[in-house]
């Protein structure tokens, strides 16, 4: 079989298109974040932002009940648009459900985090859910059409508006609300851009929408609802739980340090992962031969592992004094936190970039079980480390090692599943 050249293949070109947009979209946040940290927002402000996003992700990560994945694998435009229509309907339902949760529990959440004013801003949560869900549906619609330039441009629009608004509101004296509004409005403008592109190119597809067909496609793709959705939900729950564990034992500022360190590290890890995974999903959806699929998976796993070493090495070369000089004394723990987090993120980078392989293989049921074990592993790792030493670094290492073990397992179990599909 002819070997595919990564540099010249359409796959590499599509990854490069998405990667270019992602890099451009991350340059502004990367440059703006030190300014926001030093002059406008405190670690506690970023802590509230991190917690708020984690609460939002509980709903927004499953806003479409993962029906957006089903859009990509549809063979006809008619099925694709009706799947997208079904996903939009689900987004509306999840928005209303999240609104109900906010109305019922906003005061309890504010008291839990000792932020009375937070109750006044939790109404932003359902808006966030709707905007993220809509962005996801449209992004995967353009993924199916291989319009990766459109997806790339939407990322630039999102972060450009988000960071500009954060800066303006910070200058005007806003606290964490400026961070919340900046992120939310970034998704608003990104969604508006994607909607504009859709109506410019695909208005005729709207004539193919049938309510009954969209419901039927949900039933035909129920594996996304029953297996993929719970797995994604558990992963979002993990993020919220580990943040709350650190907040409970080490205070709200640690949530800010974790959130900011993740923002910096995402410039090295997350950008490539998101860009790669979307194109990878599109590619493996078209591969029928399991032997070819195994070759593609192994080759890209090796290349991604090498790429992961670059940001990991950079973060350990940065002097601690430089961070304190640039950001101020209140951020003196940031680098030590980021270095520990970078260890598991380097493994996550490889695993998440290839994670769509489980959907391609129809292994959502198994991954749901593994996700539940993941949650248990994180809790065990955190508290086992605290038994050895109560320090923050000890807890971080316990968490990081647990995460690394899980994501290494996820990488290698995929190879087993591919080989098993080959035998079948």
Asked if 215 and 85 touch (Cβ cutoff 8 Å), the reply is no
> What is the C-alpha to C-alpha distance for residues 257 and 240, in angstroms, rounded to an integer?
15
Give the dihedral sign, CA 264/359/373/411. Answer: negative
> What is the C-alpha to C-alpha distance for residues 335 and 339, in angstroms, rounded to an integer?
6
Residues in the chain: 424
Q: What pLDDT is stored for residue 367 in this prediction?
A: 80
Q: What pLDDT is stored for residue 261 in this prediction?
A: 84
Q: What is the residue-level pLDDT of the chain in tens, covering all 424 positions?
A: 344 444 455 655 555 555 565 666 667 777 788 888 888 888 878 888 888 888 888 888 888 888 888 888 888 889 989 999 999 999 999 999 999 998 888 888 777 777 776 777 888 999 999 999 999 999 988 888 878 788 888 888 998 899 899 999 998 888 888 988 999 999 999 999 999 998 888 888 888 888 888 889 888 888 888 877 887 888 888 888 888 888 888 877 788 888 888 877 776 665 565 556 656 666 666 677 778 888 878 888 888 888 888 888 888 888 888 887 888 787 888 889 999 999 998 898 888 877 777 877 777 778 878 888 888 999 999 999 999 888 989 999 999 999 999 999 999 998 888 888 765 4
Q: What pLDDT is stored for residue 5 in this prediction?
A: 45
Answer left, alpha or beta for residue 9, where phi above 0 means left and psi between -120 and 50 means alpha: beta
């Amino acid at each position: 079989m002819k070997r595919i050249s990564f540099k010249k293949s359409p796959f590499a070109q599509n990854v490069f298109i998405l990667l270019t947009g992602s890099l451009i979209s991350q340059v502004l946040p990367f440059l703006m974040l030190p300014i926001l940290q030093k002059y406008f927002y405190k670690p506690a402000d970023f802590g509230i932002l991190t917690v708020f996003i984690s609460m939002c992700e509980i709903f927004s990560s499953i806003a479409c009940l993962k029906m957006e994945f089903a859009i990509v694998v549809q063979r006809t435009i008619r099925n694709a648009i009706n799947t997208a229509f079904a996903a939009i309907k689900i987004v509306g339902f999840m928005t209303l459900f999240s609104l109900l949760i906010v109305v019922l529990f906003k005061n309890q959440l504010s008291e839990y985090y000792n932020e009375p004013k937070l109750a006044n801003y939790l109404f932003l949560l359902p808006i966030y859910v709707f905007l993220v869900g809509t962005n996801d549906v449209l992004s995967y619609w353009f993924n199916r059409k291989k319009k990766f330039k459109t997806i790339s441009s939407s990322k630039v629009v999102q972060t450009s508006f988000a960071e500009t608004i954060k800066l303006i509101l910070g200058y005007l004296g806003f606290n964490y609300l400026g961070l919340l509004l900046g992120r939310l409005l970034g998704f608003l403008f990104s969604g508006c851009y994607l909607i504009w592109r859709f109506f410019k190119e695909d208005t005729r597809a709207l004539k193919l929408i049938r309510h009954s067909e969209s419901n039927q496609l949900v039933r035909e793709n129920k594996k996304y609802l029953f297996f993929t959705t719970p797995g994604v939900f558990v992963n979002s729950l993990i993020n919220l739980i580990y943040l709350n564990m650190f907040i409970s034992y080490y205070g709200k500022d640690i949530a800010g340090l974790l959130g900011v360190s993740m923002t910096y590290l995402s410039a090295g890890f997350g950008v490539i992962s998101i860009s790669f995974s979307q194109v990878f999903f599109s590619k493996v959806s078209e591969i029928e031969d399991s032997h070819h699929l195994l070759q593609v998976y192994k080759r890209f796993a090796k290349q991604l592992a090498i790429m992961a070493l670059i940001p990991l090495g950079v973060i350990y070369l940065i002097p601690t004094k430089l961070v304190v000089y640039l950001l101020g004394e209140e951020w003196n723990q940031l680098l030590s936190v980021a270095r520990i987090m970078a260890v598991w993120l380097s493994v996550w980078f490889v695993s998440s970039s290839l994670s769509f392989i489980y959907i391609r293989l129809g292994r959502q049921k198994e991954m749901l079980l593994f996700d539940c074990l993941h949650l248990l592993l994180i809790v065990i790792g955190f508290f086992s480390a605290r038994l050895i030493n109560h320090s923050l670094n000890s807890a971080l290492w316990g968490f990081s090692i647990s995460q690394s073990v899980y994501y290494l397992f996820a990488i290698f179990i995929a190879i087993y599943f591919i080989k098993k599909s080959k035998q079948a």
